[in-house]
Structure 1
Amino acid sequence: MRFMSIVTSTDFLQPSPALMEAIHKLADREIKAGRMIDTAGLMPLATGARVTIKDRKLSVVDGPFVEAKEVVGGYAIFELQSKEEAVALAVEFMQLHKDLMPGWEGTCEVRPYFEPNAEGVCDPLAEARA
């Protein structure tokens, strides 16, 4: 089952060299185990843009975004056996931040991918019913 972990924080802080080294070791381990498919950190909001549809109008706004309360800082995609396994990896990842970046506050959200059933229809609750 495929999962995405999404890391959010209230602001962008440059990770310390020690944290980056620890994250790279964790990622290397998971890639070698065949469990991590992709991962990346994202640049600050000032470097991005938002494309929005509101009231049937499409608009583009360059960052930074003053109304942003949480910022997506990065993501990882895993192929795992269970939600519990995905949560355990998220806990390990967040513990690195707690230990190596004191004062940082954030969240790591874990969400499974939609997976089509035999008829090709996505059913996000199929595992829960099984």
Structure 2
Amino acid sequence: MRCMVMVKATAASEAGEMPSETLLADMGRFNEELVKAGIMLAGEGLHPSSKGARVKFSGGKRTVVDGPFAETKELVAGYWMWQVSSMEEAIEWVKRCPNPFEGDIESEIEIRPVFEAEDFGDEFTPELREQEERLRARIADQHGNV
């Protein structure tokens, strides 16, 4: 199963505070373990929400809202995409992760399974499945196999 592992933002990450060399090295070692185990598909840190935007949809109307966004605990500071055998395996890997924020800052990492084609049932027709496979192949060709 694929899952997205999200490092939740803190007041420090939203203020743009950068991690120390020590934390970057610890995370680098952890990422190496993930890659060696064949688990990590992708992973990146995100700029604070002050550099982002949201697009709100209401029927046919689109409204752009520039950051920053107020609810820090609901924001994501970084993510990984993992390929694991189960949610339990993902949890065990997250428990091995260095604390993404230094000092006594409380932090949280959320794990969410990614929908797979079979999760959508009959509504995901053979034509839609074929389209999805074509798009994934094009993405892999354009950007390497991610």
TM-score band, normalised by the shorter chain? 0.7 to 0.9
In structure 2, which of residues 96, 99, 109 is the aligned counterpart of residue 97 of structure 1? 99
Q: Which has a greater percent of strand?
A: 1
Q: CA deviation at 1:55?
A: 6.5
Look up the SS of the partner of 1:37 in the other structure: strand
Whole-angstrom distance in 2 between the partners of 1:87 and 1:75: 14
Cα contact 1:41–1:74 (8 A) shared by 2 = yes
Q: Which has a greater percent of helix?
A: 2
Q: Percent identity?
A: 33
> Unmatched 5+ residue regions in structure 2?
123-146
Give the match for residue 69 of structure 1. Answer: 72
Q: CA deviation at 1:56?
A: 5.1
Whole-angstrom distance in 1 between the partners of 2:118 and 2:58: 33
Whole-angstrom distance in 2 between the partners of 1:103 and 1:17: 18
Whole-angstrom distance in 2 between the partners of 1:56 and 1:90: 40
Cα contact 1:48–1:62 (8 A) shared by 2 = yes
> Unmatched 5+ residue regions in structure 1?
123-130
CA RMSD of aligned residues (A): 2.2
Give the match for residue 113 of structure 1. Answer: 114
Cα contact 1:97–1:104 (8 A) shared by 2 = no
Whole-angstrom distance in 2 between the partners of 1:54 and 1:16: 42
Cα contact 2:99–2:107 (8 A) shared by 1 = no
Whole-angstrom distance in 1 between the partners of 2:71 and 2:61: 21
Q: Which amino acid aligns with 2:93?
A: L
In structure 2, which of residues 27, 30, 40 is the aligned counterpart of residue 26 of structure 1? 30
Between the two proteins, the alignment pairs up a number of residues equal to 117
Q: Which amino acid aligns with 2:8?
A: T
TM-score, length basis structure 2: 0.70
